Amino acid sequence: MKIKPLILVPILMFFAACEYNADEVYYLDVSPPDEGEIILNLAHFPIGATIYIYKRTKLYYQLTLPEGGVVKKRFSLDGEEISPTNDYFEFAPTDNVRYTKTLTVDIEIDARSESIAGKLGLENNSAKFEYRLVFVPNAVLHLDNIAHRRNKDGYFELSWNKPELEQYTVDRYRISYYHNNKLHVKEIANSYETSFVDSMAVFGTLYYRIETFFKEEIREPWVDIYTAQIEFPKNSLLFEYTSVNSGRVSWPRNEYKCRYAFSNGYYGDIVYEGEENYFDIDDLDEFTRDRNNLFPLSQGVMYELYVVPFNVRGITKDEVWPIHYDVLYSPSIITIKDGYLDFQIFTDRGRDMLFVKNGNNFWLYDRNDLRLLEQATVSTLTDSWNSRAMCSESSSKIFLTFDEWIELVDYDFKSHEKMQFDVEDRLNYQEAFLGTNDVVYIKTYMDLVENLPGGIEAFEGKLFAYSLDTRELIDYLILPNKDDHLSVSRDGKYVAIYSSFHQTSEVWVYQFDEEGFV
């Protein structure tokens, strides 16, 4: 087929008019990618937020991407590339000072466009997200200033300070505790309510678990444990006669509003229930009838004092209420049932203190009314059945004699020491005496010094006087008879020596002052 010249000429002129100029740039309008197709949700914080890191913290993220190939997905902290674990970042303070870093998430997605712009990457979808991380080391992540007090109504009130850390927004509190073997849970939804009144908390060991929940999802709940001990001192039960056949039992008034129940004996019958911290016995004979002890003439019988919430009525022994266990001793009578091998009584008149010693057990009483003040065991004390005990009123020590030494025990029974005096003679510590002037008198063992005519043996010994304070020798006497007996006045100023020799008896009395024997 032949093309006619008239047709060919217009076609050539058209192509000549459409010649391509390489020096010019040609543009083509295309629709941009939809905004928001790349979405990052970092622990529900808004883009650009400041996030506080107080301890090792996981920041979970969700990255929503449009269709297409991932060209770039870079995570960096202050420009240094990091790799998250699965679907979360994990950060923790690494220094002892507060510091700040920038978390950057840089994403680019290939839109897979077939256009020239798409081929050149001009239609790729990209996004860059930044967050400011503030690292705060050594932060206290617990409730501050947890304490308890007696409120104006007389009840136990627990309180604490509201957390003030950035991004620790309190959602609620949960308090768990036990009373009468039952679990109680209190929820406090008001974050500004930082106290809790427990009307059932009156006595014994109180245990509270306080959980603080926060609105920020990255914050774990705080768990604080608070305990309080409310108790009466030992030997708090008292008895006093109100007449020949009546009396009153009393105890300290509890700090918190409550009721009491008194049980006569260990797990015995409840004989009183009420709000007062005492009860009266009008007829002691009738009160002790058919009971296993002649109240109050007891040898230290155990009694139970129930301390229960104020609204409790009808207290029974089967419930698990707090109990104060105590021993009630009879007034004006001391009875020790642990044996009498080393039973001794000695006093400090200046302080009105009366001590009872039995082995290594001690009881301390008020000398006027024989009220028991303290009971203790000194386990380090030397065992002996014939030691003697006295009070050093000047140094507040108990003075105990043994065969080879003297032992001193403080009045509070917390300190104990052995002592000997530096002397060549063999001292008979077992026969030592102590005056209130803190002078220690100790005899030596008698030595045979001469055989007299008629088979008579002559002995000689010494009586030393030492200062208990300085442990130095003050003076001494010669004792010419092995049968000499010694007695010392309470103030330590007079020493009597009783001698019996060949059917004759003599008593020698020596006065002692600061210079020695007179």
Q: What percent of the chain has pLDDT over 90?
A: 41
Nearest to 218, CA basis, from 168, 165, 163, 284: 168
Domain assignment present for 29: no
Q: Where does the pLDDT of residue 10 fall: very low under 50, low under 70, confident under 90, or very high at 90 and above? A: low
Mean pLDDT of 208-233: 95
Domain assignment present for 316: yes
- The pLDDT of residue 81 is 93
- Can you give the pTM of this predicted structure? 0.57
Question: Which residue did the predictor score with more confidence, 484 or 230?
Answer: 230
Q: Tokens 């045979």 appear where?
A: 448
**Are residue 243 and residue 368 in the same domain, yes or no?**
no
- The pLDDT of residue 192 is 95
Domain assignment present for 334: no
- Which domain, by its residues, includes 163? 144-230
Does 21 have pLDDT greater than 60?
A: no
380 contacts: CB under 8 Å, gap ≥ 6: 416
Domain assignment present for 117: no
**Are residue 246 and residue 226 in the same domain, yes or no?**
no
Nearest to 328, CA basis, from 306, 312, 305: 305
CA distances, 438 to each of 370, 398, 493 (Å):
26, 12, 10
Mean pLDDT of 174-189: 94
349-359 residue pLDDT tens: 889 899 988 88
Q: What is the mean pLDDT of the chain?
A: 82
Domain assignment present for 58: no
Contact (Cβ atoms closer than 8 angstroms) between residue 210 and residue 160:
yes
Does 123 have pLDDT greater than 80?
A: no
Does 200 have pLDDT greater than 90?
A: yes
Domain assignment present for 9: no
We report the CATH number of the domain holding residue 376 as 2.130.10.10
Does 329 have pLDDT greater than 70?
A: no
Domain ends where: 193, 210, 230?
230
**Are residue 242 and residue 211 in the same domain, yes or no?**
no
Indicate the number of domains in the chain: 3
Strand blocks (E) in 123-237: 125-135, 144-150, 156-161, 170-179, 182-188, 195-198, 204-214, 222-230
- The pLDDT of residue 25 is 43
We report the CATH number of the domain holding residue 315 as 2.60.40
- The pLDDT of residue 135 is 97
82-118 residue pLDDT tens: 988 888 999 999 988 999 999 999 988 876 655 554 5
**Are residue 393 and residue 504 in the same domain, yes or no?**
yes
Domain assignment present for 395: yes
Question: Which residue did the predictor score with more confidence, 268 or 187?
Answer: 187
Helices (H), 136-203: none
Mean pLDDT of 269-276: 91
451 contacts: CB under 8 Å, gap ≥ 6: 457, 458
**Are residue 455 and residue 507 in the same domain, yes or no?**
yes
- The pLDDT of residue 451 is 60
**Are residue 157 and residue 279 in the same domain, yes or no?**
no
Q: Where does the pLDDT of residue 27 fall: very low under 50, low under 70, confident under 90, or very high at 90 and above? A: very low
370-415 residue pLDDT tens: 788 898 999 999 887 778 889 998 889 999 988 889 999 999 999 9
**Are residue 258 and residue 217 in the same domain, yes or no?**
no
**Are residue 348 and residue 489 in the same domain, yes or no?**
yes
Mean pLDDT of 234-252: 83
Measured between alpha carbons, how far is 490 from 441 in angstroms, rounded to an integer?
A: 12
Does 480 have pLDDT greater than 80?
A: no
Does 131 have pLDDT greater than 60?
A: yes
Question: Which residue did the predictor score with more confidence, 28 or 195?
Answer: 195
Q: Tokens 């974050």 appear where?
A: 191
Does 332 have pLDDT greater than 70?
A: no
Does 69 have pLDDT greater than 70?
A: no
Mean pLDDT of 147-164: 96
Contact (Cβ atoms closer than 8 angstroms) between residue 232 and residue 252:
yes
- The pLDDT of residue 457 is 59
DSSP summary character for residue 46? P
Q: Tokens 């001009």 appear where?
A: 122
**Are residue 298 and residue 220 in the same domain, yes or no?**
no
Domain ends where: 295, 328, 361?
328
Does 500 have pLDDT greater than 70?
A: no
- Among the ranges given (6-15, 63-72, 226-235, 486-495), the one the predictor scored with the smallest mean pLDDT: 6-15
- The pLDDT of residue 285 is 76
**Are residue 226 and residue 295 in the same domain, yes or no?**
no
Domain assignment present for 86: no
Domain ends where: 328, 354, 370?
328
276-295 residue pLDDT tens: 999 998 887 777 766 555 55
Measured between alpha carbons, how far is 127 from 72 in angstroms, rounded to an integer?
A: 10
- Among the ranges given (93-107, 135-149, 176-190, 427-441), the one the predictor scored with the smallest mean pLDDT: 427-441
**Are residue 371 and residue 262 in the same domain, yes or no?**
no
Does 33 have pLDDT greater than 60?
A: no
Q: Where does the pLDDT of residue 64 fall: very low under 50, low under 70, confident under 90, or very high at 90 and above? A: confident
Q: Collapsing DSSP states into helix, strand and coil, what is residue 324? A: strand
**Are residue 243 and residue 310 in the same domain, yes or no?**
yes
We report the CATH number of the domain holding residue 163 as 2.60.40.10
Does 513 have pLDDT greater than 60?
A: yes
- The pLDDT of residue 412 is 92
